[in-house]
Amino acid sequence: MRYPAYILSTFAGWVNQIIAAGSKGLPEEKAHKIRTVNSICLITALLAISIGFFFYLYSGENGILIPAIFEGSIFLGIIFLNKKKKYEAASLAVLLAHCLCALYFAAILGKIINISLILVFIFGISFLVYKKRWQRITGIAAAIFTLIALEINYYYNIVPPLQLAEEFQYLLRWVALPCFLLFDALVLGYFVQDIRENKILLNQVSMLIFKTSHEMRNNLASNSILIDLLNTEIKDNPEYEKLKPYLEQLSTINHGMRNIVNNVLNMGEIENGGRSEMQPENFELRGFIDNIIKIQEIKAESHRMQIQLDYDGALPSHIESDPLQMGIAITNLISNAVKYGREGTPIHVRVKGTENNNSLEISIANQCPDIPQEKIKLLFNKFMTAKHNNKIEGSGLGLYIVRNIMDQCEGTYHVTSENGETTFTISFPLVAGQAPESAQPAQIIHQLAGLNLSIAEDDLMQNKLLTSLLQSFGCAVTASIDGRQLIEKLESNPTPPDGIILDDNMQFMNGAETLQFIKADQRYKHIPVIMITGKSGPAEQWIDLGAQGVIRKPYDRATLLQQLSQHLHTQALA
């Protein structure tokens, strides 16, 4: 005698084979749709045949049994169509079969049961099974037609119902209703499953974007360091001066890639319903604007354009704002002005304060065909562009990001386009800062010479370049590839370093874990630590753990110098 478990296992294997009929070797999305159709058909066929046979035994009515067997055969035939790879025919047949069966049983059973409940199921099938628009419209139209036909027959009795005993009517009603609800629950269950699978897929895509962006920022940071090292070599060796234009172009490309990465990450945060908080910093405004324009000028020159700056000298020299978000917004606008402007025409950048001096207004104007008013209203939407020919490349994300940055900082944005000139204007809240007492780069390097630094960076290229850059400042460097190795080197060296630089994303022991270990150990807690991160979250998360400073990837020589001067040198020699 075979064991029940074996019988159940064999039966389950048969059921799985039927459900998977025709799906082998197909892309997962299409295979999933076929399994869904087969599951619905198998359940419908089994219910139709079993319930029809049950009621035939009870009532002896062939008008229920024969159509029920016919219905079951139709739905098993749909599975056979899938097995024979007739996918379009099968997906259409599952809808028509349910509509026809609903019409027939509604006609012969009359008011006994509310067969219109099955229409909810038919509507669900139209969206669950079909992906093309015309297919969904056909499904919805078939459901509406079925409903109208049911109502006409209900009022005019075109097809006379079967004459059934009263107790049989009640039995039929209370058996049929759970079946209809089962079909509705079945469609709902598949929708819930799709939502869960899509959520899992979204999480996987988000993780992929995070990992990819981290790797891209590592490479961009490596490029920035390498460019700085090469620029230093050019200054020290005049014979390399002819390489400078190429380095400037490389710097422009690197900055453009950084802006693309920032745009993608910003959009990801917006789509996930979250925004990174603004991180105000004190920085020099004119130098900040000049640096953005300098980078964009190389791209403008390739279009025979010049970027002309009109700067209000009455503005405070330093302001308190988020330089990262502000830089993304201004860069996107200037980049768009260059991209869409007429060749050989100037780009005007105007920076001024408002009348009451509580806002910083930045406008970027170019010469281009007028943008229609109806299109201007849509420009700041996602994936919208003002392309006037197909040769202009653009993702349509730049202005969408600008809009969200302005909303985030409680700023404003607007566009005017008339008489062949288009002007984008944004305004930030203006908070005056203070000019710090900072030394010149040469003086800082002189002060840093002789410092003993330990670094942990798992990207081998960036590890090597960061080591070279620090050594060019005159620092002695002990490099590690993760936090665990750094701690081992700390414990094996009787003399602690003057400062530690940690990457936040490392294997075995990441930056946060390493920082917590250092600050919890009495031997090392006094050592100033600077975190290097590719994340856009608030710096407070690292400061709260004990870090003295935070550097965001990709960074350049000037940023590294400023952080070393501010956090390592002063504390190490105090």
Q: What is the pLDDT along the chain (574 residues), one digit of tens a residue?
A: 455 666 667 777 788 888 888 888 888 778 878 888 888 888 888 888 887 787 777 777 777 788 888 888 988 998 999 888 888 888 888 888 878 877 777 776 666 565 556 666 777 777 777 777 877 788 788 878 877 887 787 777 777 776 666 666 656 666 666 666 666 666 666 666 666 666 665 566 566 566 666 666 667 777 777 777 887 778 778 787 777 777 776 776 676 666 667 666 665 665 555 555 667 788 889 988 988 888 788 788 888 899 999 999 888 888 988 887 888 889 889 988 998 899 999 999 999 988 777 889 999 999 999 888 888 878 887 655 555 544 444 456 778 888 888 888 888 899 999 999 999 999 988 888 887 665 566 666 767 788 899 999 988 888 888 898 888 888 899 999 999 999 999 999 888 999 999 998 888 888 889 999 999 999 999 999 999 887 766 677 888 888 988 888 777 777 788 788 877 754 444 4
Give the DSSP H/E element, type plus range, for residue 149: helix 133-156
**Residue 482 neighbours by CB under 8 Å, 6+ apart:** 456, 458, 506, 507, 508, 509, 510
Q: Are 455 and 479 in contact (CB under 8 A)?
A: yes
pLDDT at 232: 78
Distance between CA atoms of residues 398 and 81, nearest Å? 48
Ordered DSSP codes for 472-531 = HTT-EEEEESSHHHHHHHHHH-SS--SEEEEESS-SSS-HHHHHHHHHHSTTTTTS-EEE
Buried b (16+ CB within 10 A) or exposed e, 517-538: bbeeeeebeebbbbbbbbbbee
Give the DSSP H/E element, type plus range, for residue 111: none
Instruction: Report the DSSP pairing between strands 318-321 and 281-284.
Output: antiparallel
* 380: phi then psi, degrees, rounded to nearest 5: -90, 10
DSSP structural state of residue 317: S
Place of tokens 């201004």: 330
Q: Strand, coil or helix: what is 423?
A: strand
Here the tokens at position 345 are 């025409």
Q: Are 427 and 360 in contact (CB under 8 A)?
A: yes
Distance between CA atoms of residues 424 and 338, nearest Å? 13
Q: Are 142 and 121 in contact (CB under 8 A)?
A: no
Give the DSSP H/E element, type plus range, for residue 112: none
Q: Is 281 exposed, middle or buried (0-12, 13-18, 19+ CB in 10 A)?
A: middle
Calculate Rg over the CA atoms of the chain: 35
Give the residue among 79, 50, 46, 44 at the shortest CA–CA distance from 64.
50
Q: Are 119 and 184 in contact (CB under 8 A)?
A: no
- The dihedral built from the CA positions of residue 363, 369, 370 and 374, taken in this order, carries a sign that is negative
Give the DSSP H/E element, type plus range, for residue 558: helix 557-563
Q: Give the residues across from 480 on adjacent strands.
A: 456
pLDDT at 562: 79
pLDDT at 345: 93
Distance between CA atoms of residues 177 and 181, nearest Å? 6
**Residue 39 neighbours by CB under 8 Å, 6+ apart:** 19, 186
Distance between CA atoms of residues 282 and 453, nearest Å? 27
**192-198 contact pairs (CB < 8 A, 24+):** 194/128
Q: Are 34 and 130 in contact (CB under 8 A)?
A: no
Q: Are 128 and 191 in contact (CB under 8 A)?
A: yes
DSSP structural state of residue 354: -
Cα diameter, the chain: 107
Give the DSSP H/E element, type plus range, for residue 310: strand 307-311
Quickly list H helices, 157-165.
none
Give the residue among 482, 415, 431, 430 at the shortest CA–CA distance from 455.
482
Instruction: Report the DSSP pairing between strands 421-429 and 412-418.
Output: antiparallel
Distance between CA atoms of residues 127 and 452, nearest Å? 65
Cα angle 547-549-555, degrees, rounded to a multiple of 5: 130
* 457: phi then psi, degrees, rounded to nearest 5: -150, 125
Q: Strand, coil or helix: what is 27?
A: coil
Instruction: Report the DSSP pairing between strands 347-353 and 359-367.
Output: antiparallel
Quickly list H helices, 360-440.
373-376, 398-408
Q: Are 534 and 505 in contact (CB under 8 A)?
A: yes
Amino acid identity at 17:
Q
Q: Strand, coil or helix: what is 214?
A: helix
* 338: phi then psi, degrees, rounded to nearest 5: -70, -40
Buried b (16+ CB within 10 A) or exposed e, 44-68: bbebbbebbeebbeebebeebbebb
pLDDT at 455: 92
* Helix pair 87-109, 62-83: axis angle to 10 deg: 170
Buried b (16+ CB within 10 A) or exposed e, 383-395: ebbbeeeeeeebe
Give the Cβ contact number of residue 134 at 10 Å: 8
CA separation, residue 324 to residues 32, 147, 258, 331, 414 (Å) = 44, 58, 11, 10, 21
